[in-house]
Structure 1
Amino acid sequence: MHLPVRTVRSAPARRRARGQSLVLACLSFLLLALMTTLSFNLSHALREKMSLQQHSDALAYSMGVVEARALNYYAVSNRAIASAYVGMTSVHGYMAAASATGDMMRAGQMSFFIIAGLEAAQCPPYNIQHCIDALEALMIAMDYSDKASEYDDKVQGVEEAFNKVIHDLNRMADQIHESQKSAHRAARNALRDGQSASLLELTEYSAKGASDLNSSVGSMNSTEFDCAVDGMNCPRAGSSNEARARVMTEISNASRPGWAANRSLPVIMNGLPTYYKSEFIQDLLKDIPSEGTHMILGHQGTAKVAQTKSNIHGPGQVGGNEGKVVVADEHGYIMQQWRHGFGAWNYEAVVESSDSGGSHTPSGAHSGDHDEFKGINTKDLMSCSGSGNCFMKFRATDEPSEDWGQPSVYSYVTKQFFVGDADRAPWELNDTGSFALTHGAQGKGQLRLAPGEGAALSKALVYYHRLGPNGWKEAPGLFNPYWRVKLHPFTSDEASEVLENAGNSDAADLAGAKDLTL
């Protein structure tokens, strides 16, 4: 009978098996420790990246707010400039109305010269009364002449005050231009450095340790801002003084109501507007002639900013009108029937201010040159130095892909995510955040677990939107303060350009990939 054979392992073999398990356990614990460390580092990197991206978004949005506020200031201040020109036209209009009083008296004088001639033509042998009437008509004509001089003197007496008003309104426009220039410079600096206008506090609050705005990206922002304002140099588009001047000229002329001379009450006021005093009307139509029928026909007037004095009767909105002169006109006819005669004569007063000093008709109401008026627009905004009446307008484009010229604002910032301090970030292992290992004949390798530098890219769009159901239908402009800002998505080409300017060519190549959502 055979007994089963039993194999018995020796004690050293069993010890060798237990040693292999220990090695595997140690390797497992090492791998677990590395995974834990990697998890902590990844969490830290994600948190820092989110913080940096939020800071970049906030920086782009805040710079956009600075720009939108600047554009809104331009809109409000442009209205103030337009009001200065409206004031100038109104003052010229009233000066023309005052100057017309003397010329109305002279028109009465000429009318009675005609009546005197008609009466004299009927003297004996026809009727001796006609001779008497002719002499009396000449005396009335001389009375009109004396009154004309009297009213001319009155106008001369206020011409100094008139010139001061025009000078002060010109100076008001110049000072607003200077303010606009200062505001543009300050906003452009903030867009370029990302620190001015209290933007530096944003970095300290939201992402301490983040880099300043990349200087090349800041230059893109300032260029975008300049290109949105016609009156500033733009590498992508030209600038037109004529176009800017025409916009302000048309706004100024459209803002002024219809001149009061065209709102007269012909029946009640004998054809004269209501701003003429009753004493003047009494002298003109009643006291001097004392009898007969006398009336004013076709009395009209206007005041506007025009290209030349001769354009006063043309439309206020016309191509080529750069607003080089401020001019006002008041004119009409006086028609008179007296005794056996009938006379009529026209009158006109024209008051103009220009860069050559202007003119004043009738000359008897004029005491000297008027204050110099430089015109609506003669220089670009930054070349204006205290005078020149510069003006800025929105430089629109007809390209939807360029947001119709509405400016974009970009932010590109970086931050070192690696802490490098074992007390503050023990999960980074050491001061390099990496460890070396040897893998047999393949040599040594290095594994980095801690993150390095992170970057964040953002874009904001400064856009125009008027409130109300049809607000989107109003085209962007610099006369209404409806500029706003929002974060806006990148196009791939746009992101690639910003990253390339920031010196991150690898990310620029990635951003330029087709069908990449940004």
Structure 2
Amino acid sequence: MFTRVLRQSFQRQEGQALVMAALMVLVMSIAVITTVNIGHTVHERVRLQNTADAAAYSMAAMEARAFNFYAYANRTQVSHYVSAMMWQSLLSLIYFAEAFVTDIYGFMRTINPCAGDASGPFWTVACLALENLVPYLGQILKVIDQFMNVFKQLIQGFQTVLRTLNPDKLIGRLVIPTHRVLNGVMFFASQSVMASTLTHVAQTTDTVIFANDKNVDPKLGQLAAGALSLCLFDQAHFREAGTSPLDVDKGGVGRNPFTPIDPTKWRHAEKEARAKRAMATITNGTRYGCDAGGGACPEGFITSRKVGDLIPLPDGLGVIRDLLNSDIDTPIFSFAKYGQTRFLTTNNPNAAKIRKVNKPYDPRNTIRDWNDGIEPTLGALAQGDNLGSDDLYWIKFGPANFPGLRNPLACRDSDNPRECWGDPRKGYKEGKSDYLTFKHPTKTSIWAMNESEDSYEHGGVHWRVHHTTLPVGDTWKRVYSPRGPESEIGVHREEVCALEIAGLCPPLAPKLDVFTANVMPAEDGNHPWKGIVPFMHFEPGQYGDTCGGAADAENAAERYKHDFNQPSTWVALHKTPEQVTNAGGTDYAGTGSNAPALLNDEGKVQWRFSAKTPTLEMQNKRMKFLSAIEGLNVVSRGQTYYHRPGNWAEHPNFFNPYWRPRLASVYQGRHSMPFVGQMMDKLPGALKDMPQKVITH
């Protein structure tokens, strides 16, 4: 029985399909596993690309933050320069006030020689005769004499306070230089931000990469992509203005923030001069220390210190303000007041030009010059090597000349200003080739100069009232002491010929005493100005090649190849087949390990149907990049770009905080990679579109 059952079981056919079914299950399992692996690989490819995008964008964001910080730091530097101008304007106004009230007293002393002690034999006899012959004249002269004595005492009190407090020394040597020190601190802060950004760019923000995918080792990409990003970041910096990340020759991030940009560089072709001109031009264009239209600190305090600007009048009296700001020029009386402070270029002026008081009396005022000494002439595009202030004024009664007579109350523009109230030399040398309207008026004025201008203790020159003694704590190179009976208050007496013939004074011609404020150049060492502090400036010049050579000073960077020197950030990431499995256990939770899809630790399936042993490789070990690197490879490009909202045409700069990050096309940035862009451009027509199709991001 048992034998029969066993024999029948061998004769049945029902179980033959089981073998095929088992094989089909194996094939289907392998297909499912392969599909899972492909899906996982695609997922890993997308995640790796997202990681690269995040890193590239993060680097661009860091650069944008650095550039925006530069902008705020540079704006702060401009505000400090404007504040320094305001302090120097205040000094100039204070010493103008001293000169003006002293001139007023000298004017009264000139037109009333009989008040006080009459000078000279002519007026001694004439005053005595007038007092005895003209009724009540003696009493009138006594009243005038008393008024002048009171006015003189007020002037003496004002001068005593001024010379004791000596604000010229306090503000000129301490307050104004402090603003340069603060600017040095701002440049140091910019250097620190640059150094921090440099670290992030050099490391291709590996912290971002690690946060996104702990299985990626970015060191290989750092060697190439990080170096390229560093170079492009470096090329956005104008080295001559301050420094750049890779500027080893000039000290790199360690450049002394208190050493000025070379004041001796002034020519148009010198990039240091161009850098200084950028900062100085913006500063000169921002010279508004106050926002008010009037009041104690008017808007034009730095740019236009006219009488109407200085008197706090309400808006309803604007007509009076305009009248006071206008020059008074009539046959009977002439008066004008000007005032301005601004940056100047080196040697414009130097100490020799501004202290020129020997004959011909020809000092040089360059504050209002259209000629800044640069060829070709660039007008008011000064470089900030010197800082000048002037407060000019003049007073005239009657015409300068009567027929055959010299009017001592109205100087000609060719007369020695020591004989005049204020400085009437506006328009001097009219008609000559070197004619400039305000070339020669210098009373009163302050010229803060750099160390190359040969001024005493590098402290500039100050046109101010000279006394017989120096202010408290001052040491001057030379003192032009006043002469005459009023010298104790800084009034100088000069004898003026009343009758000139052919420009000469005959031996017996009468002479009159003219009393004026003794305003002369003082080299007191109180006005040092080292020049423009280094600052971060954007490089607009076209480089010959990426990461090679210097920028072209004459041609701006093109949009097509160099994106106007707006830097790109590159990230190249690689993930080996072993890293794609995301092995690592709980330390890498959330990364999506595909180890189960490999069937075993080796990731291989083997079976034998014959003498050969076929092997199915479950890991992705195909050659992916230039047939040399296994696994997944991605490239991403970020860009730091400049855009003022509503204006795409504005050039990139480090003065406005409008820098932003973005992801950019890898293909469009091909010219920023050495040789890659050139090779792509040289492909024949049929192949030109291939790189763009291959590089999809």
What is the match of residue 218 of structure 2?
212
Report the alpha carbon displacement of residue 173 of structure 1 after superposing the two structures with TM. 0.6
Q: Distance in 2 between matches of 1:419 and 1:475?
A: 46
Report the alpha carbon displacement of residue 172 of structure 1 after superposing the two structures with TM. 0.7
What is the match of residue 245 of structure 1?
276
Runs (4+) off by over 6 Å: 17-23, 116-127, 130-133, 135-149, 293-296, 420-424, 437-441, 498-501
List aligned pairs for 1:449-468, cutoff 5 A.
Answer: 449-452=618-621, 453-467=631-645
Say which SS state the counterpart of residue 219 (structure 1) adopts: helix
Bigger mean CA offset, 248-257 vs 395-404: 395-404
Deviation sequence 1:170-211 (CA, Å, 0-9, x none): 11111101101001110111111134xxx61x3343212112
Say which SS state the counterpart of residue 255 (structure 1) adopts: coil
Q: Distance in 2 between matches of 1:336 and 1:141?
A: 20
Alignment: residue pair count? 453
Q: Distance in 2 between matches of 1:499 and 1:43?
A: 36
The answer to whether 1:335 aligns with 2:396 is yes
Q: Distance in 2 between matches of 1:466 and 1:493?
A: 22
Report the alpha carbon displacement of residue 48 of structure 1 after superposing the two structures with TM. 1.3
Deviation sequence 1:93-142 (CA, Å, 0-9, x none): 11111111232245446646764799988998999439999x99999999
Higher-RCO chain (CA-CA 8 Å, sequence separation at least 6): 1
List aligned pairs for 1:14-163, cutoff 5 A.
Answer: 27-108=23-104, 111=107, 115=111, 128-129=129-130, 151-156=158-163, 157-162=166-171, 163=173
Report the alpha carbon displacement of residue 414 of structure 1 after superposing the two structures with TM. 2.1
Q: 1:345 aligns with which of 421, 424, 430?
A: 421
What is the match of residue 178 of structure 1?
188
Pick closer, same or farther for the CA change 1:306–1:208 going to 2, 3 Å.
Answer: same
What TM-score do you get using the length of structure 1 for normalisation?
Answer: 0.73
Pick closer, same or farther for the CA change 1:203–1:37 going to 2, 3 Å.
Answer: same
Q: Is the 8 A contact 2:194 2:245 kept in 1?
A: no
List aligned pairs for 1:222-371, cutoff 5 A.
Answer: 222-231=230-239, 232-233=243-244, 240-257=271-288, 258-259=300-301, 262=304, 264-265=306-307, 273-274=310-311, 297-307=335-345, 308-309=348-349, 310-314=365-369, 318=379, 321-336=382-397, 342-343=409-410, 345-347=421-423, 348-355=443-450, 356-362=458-464, 364=466, 367=474, 368-370=524-526
Q: Is the 8 A contact 1:102 1:149 kept in 2?
A: no
Stretches of structure 1 lacking an aligned partner (at least 5 in a row): 1-10, 267-271, 277-292, 377-388, 502-509
Q: 2:599 aligns with which of 426, 429, 438?
A: 429
Say which SS state the counterpart of residue 215 (structure 2) adopts: coil
The answer to whether 1:418 aligns with 2:589 is no
Deviation sequence 1:280-332 (CA, Å, 0-9, x none): xxxxxxxxxxxxx9977220010011113443222597476221011211111
Structure having the higher helix fraction is 1
Q: Distance in 2 between matches of 1:486 and 1:456?
A: 18
Pick closer, same or farther for the CA change 1:511–1:455 going to 2, 3 Å.
Answer: farther
Q: Is the 8 A contact 2:85 2:302 kept in 1?
A: no
Q: 1:472 aligns with which of 648, 653, 658?
A: 648
Report the alpha carbon displacement of residue 444 of structure 1 after superposing the two structures with TM. 6.3
Q: Is the 8 A contact 2:287 2:303 kept in 1?
A: no
Pick closer, same or farther for the CA change 1:186–1:235 going to 2, 3 Å.
Answer: closer
What is the match of residue 395 of structure 1?
539
Q: Is the 8 A contact 1:84 1:173 kept in 2?
A: yes
- Match for 2:233: what amino acid? F
Bigger mean CA offset, 349-358 vs 489-498: 489-498
Pick closer, same or farther for the CA change 1:172–1:420 going to 2, 3 Å.
Answer: closer
Report the alpha carbon displacement of residue 494 of structure 1 after superposing the two structures with TM. 1.8
Pick closer, same or farther for the CA change 1:341–1:81 going to 2, 3 Å.
Answer: closer
What is the match of residue 429 of structure 2?
none
Deviation sequence 1:376-413 (CA, Å, 0-9, x none): 1xxxxxxxxxxxx1012222344111222211111122
Deviation sequence 1:43-67 (CA, Å, 0-9, x none): 1111111111111111111111111
Q: Distance in 2 between matches of 1:38 and 1:404?
A: 48
Q: Distance in 1 between matches of 2:673 and 2:609?
A: 43
Q: Is the 8 A contact 2:395 2:421 kept in 1?
A: yes
Report the alpha carbon displacement of residue 36 of structure 1 after superposing the two structures with TM. 2.1
Q: Distance in 1 between matches of 2:463 and 2:632?
A: 74
Deviation sequence 1:206-225 (CA, Å, 0-9, x none): 21211236222112112211
Q: Is the 8 A contact 1:358 1:370 kept in 2?
A: yes
What TM-score do you get using the length of structure 2 for normalisation?
Answer: 0.56
- Match for 1:431: what amino acid? D
Pick closer, same or farther for the CA change 1:419–1:394 going to 2, 3 Å.
Answer: closer
Pick closer, same or farther for the CA change 1:125–1:18 going to 2, 3 Å.
Answer: closer
Bigger mean CA offset, 46-55 vs 395-404: 395-404
Say which SS state the counterpart of residue 462 (structure 1) adopts: strand
What is the match of residue 372 of structure 1?
528
Q: Is the 8 A contact 1:245 1:391 kept in 2?
A: no
Q: Distance in 1 between matches of 2:96 and 2:332?
A: 17
Q: Is the 8 A contact 2:55 2:571 kept in 1?
A: yes
- Aligned identity (percent) is 21
Q: Distance in 1 between matches of 2:204 and 2:77?
A: 31
Stretches of structure 2 lacking an aligned partner (at least 5 in a row): 1-6, 248-268, 289-299, 314-330, 350-364, 373-377, 399-406, 411-419, 424-442, 451-457, 475-523, 541-555, 586-592, 622-630, 678-686
- Match for 1:357: what amino acid? G
Q: Distance in 2 between matches of 1:230 and 1:204?
A: 33
